[in-house]
Amino acid sequence: MRKPCPQCGESKVTRMHRRGILDYLSSICCVYPYCCQACSQCFKALRLGTRFVPLASRRSNGSVKPPARRQERRFQTSFTVVFSWRHTGGEGIVTEIGLGGCHLKTDVELTENSPLKLKLQLPGSKPEIRVDAVVRTLEDGSFGLCFSRFLRDEKKRLGQFLIQLLMKEAA
């Protein structure tokens, strides 16, 4: 049974990777870091009798890649995004999204660490959510983006959308 988030009370929490010596030492006593998927509050909780082991995944060429270091879970989706970069703009499709970032497919050539201004048109949501993001990873016409800044109300709206995705996934 997962502990609810101490900030918002939601039970939609995910265990996070240990960072730093204090997280590793506290895990000896079964205290692990968690992050709420609804409000992105991070906290530690006691989890007796559980041992967490990092999972590696395989790339398409067969090599092993390390586990992702994301704080928030990403959900599969598909919706349009309009973005501006320097003095140009473009649009693409968001294929994964979480509170901390998203995966974008587009024909526009972007570079790593490029700042973007996004307008996310979430399904069934008006108006669009505006968020600043930074390109973190590049891979054959798709990009991993990290959200860097958005208004608190926008983050809350995105969190509500993610909870809807989680509910659909559980059904």
pLDDT digits 0-9 by tens, 94-126: 999 888 889 999 988 888 888 999 998 888 777
* 11 has pLDDT over 90: no
Q: Into how many domains does the chain fold?
A: 2
Q: Are residues 48 and 82 in the same domain?
A: no
Q: Are residues 154 and 82 in the same domain?
A: yes
Cβ contacts of 45 within 8 Å, gap of 6 or more: 2, 3, 31, 32, 34
In angstroms, the first-to-last Cα distance of the chain is: 19
Q: What is the mean pLDDT of the chain?
A: 80
Residue 60 inside a domain? The answer is yes
Cβ contacts of 106 within 8 Å, gap of 6 or more: 83, 90, 91, 92, 93, 141, 142, 143
Domain of 48 in residue numbering reads as: 13-65
Other CB atoms closer than 10 Å to residue 149's CB: what's the count? 13
Q: Are residues 57 and 26 in the same domain?
A: yes
Which residue matches tokens 């499709």? 93
* 27 has pLDDT over 90: no
